[in-house]
């Protein structure tokens, strides 16, 4: 069955708003921008993402202390595939079907602009992350969740976006996407993926 699109998709997205701080363990880990940025490797050096991405267009959070940025999405996709493995708690990849080619298999990607344009930031750890250190606070406009797109696994690996006031979140359903966030455009300060 195809994922809903257009107005129905936006209504379903709006219905999924809930009080994350009360319902999602670890949601309180998202905090306001702290001024300390995520340090990422890029080309032959490092960059503090909170101070800008420079020439990077795609950054991959392989782990909290292992963030790597790339000049192109193709480079990020190749690195993601080379180190791909099941996300925490995921089962065998047999039957894995990528929902969308804007985001690698087994990852959640958020994008700076509508229609999956602009910078791309991707996660798969399942924890709430503050977007400020990544230079992405209040800048997400579209998303793809290619986690758990597995025909043999009924588990869902939903992600989420958390904005202001902290505690309210939008669910980013497993194996789903949205080309625009509507009223929640440039709202998110945290992500779980």
Cis geometry, peptide bond prior to residue 26 (ω within 30 degrees of 0): no
Is residue 175 within 8 Å of residue 149, measured between CB atoms? yes
Give 47-109 as a 3 state SS string. Answer: EEHHHCCCCCCEEEEEECCEEEEECCHHHHHHHHHHCCCCCCCCCCCCCECCCCCCCCCCCEE
Comparing 29 with 153, the larger pLDDT belongs to 153
Reported as a single tens digit per residue, the pLDDT across 30-41 is 233 344 789 999
Mean pLDDT of the chain: 75
Give the Cα separation of 16 and 123 in Å (integer): 21
Q: Domain for residue 96, yes or no? A: no
- Reported confidence tier of residue 98, pLDDT bands at 50, 70, 90: low
Q: What angle do CA 100, 104, 109 make, to 5 degrees?
A: 80
Q: Domain for residue 95, yes or no? A: no
Q: Domain for residue 36, yes or no? A: yes
- Reported confidence tier of residue 166, pLDDT bands at 50, 70, 90: low
Predicted pLDDT at 161: 79
Residue 162 lies in domain:
6-90+103-192
- Please, what's the b/e burial string for 53-67 (b: 16 or more CB within 10 A of its CB; e: otherwise)? beebbbbbbeeeeeb
What value does the mean pLDDT take over residues 5-24? 35
Comparing 64 with 116, the larger pLDDT belongs to 116
Taking the whole predicted model, whether its pTM rises above 0.85 is answered as no
Reported as a single tens digit per residue, the pLDDT across 62-73 is 998 999 999 999
What's the number of domains the chain is made of? 1
Give the Cα separation of 81 and 9 in Å (integer): 29
Q: Domain for residue 97, yes or no? A: no
Predicted pLDDT at 151: 55
Predicted pLDDT at 36: 78
What value does the mean pLDDT take over residues 97-121? 88
Q: Domain for residue 186, yes or no? A: yes
Q: Domain for residue 1, yes or no? A: no
Q: Domain for residue 27, yes or no? A: yes
In sequence order, the β-bridge partners of residue 163 are 188
Q: Domain for residue 46, yes or no? A: yes
Specify the CATH number for the domain of residue 125: 2.60.20.10
């Amino acid at each position: 069955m195809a994922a809903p699109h257009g107005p129905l998709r936006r209504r379903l997205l709006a219905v999924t708003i809930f009080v994350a701080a009360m319902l999602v363990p670890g949601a309180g880990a998202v905090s306001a921008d702290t001024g300390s940025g995520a340090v990422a490797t890029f080309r032959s050096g490092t960059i503090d993402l909170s101070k800008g991405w420079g020439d990077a267009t795609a950054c991959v959070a392989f782990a909290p202390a292992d963030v790597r940025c790339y000049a192109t999405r193709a480079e990020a996709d190749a690195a993601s595939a080379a180190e791909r493995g099941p996300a925490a708690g995921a089962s065998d990849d047999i039957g894995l079907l990528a929902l969308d080619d804007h985001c690698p298999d087994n990852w959640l990607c958020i994008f700076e602009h509508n229609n999956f344009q602009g910078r791309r930031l991707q996660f798969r750890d399942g924890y709430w992350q503050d977007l400020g250190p990544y230079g992405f606070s209040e800048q997400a406009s579209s998303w793809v969740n290619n986690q758990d797109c597995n025909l043999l696994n009924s588990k869902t690996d939903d992600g989420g976006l958390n904005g202001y006031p902290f505690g309210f979140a939008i669910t980013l359903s497993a194996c789903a996407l949205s080309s625009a966030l509507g009223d929640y455009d440039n709202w998110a300060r945290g992500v779980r993926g």
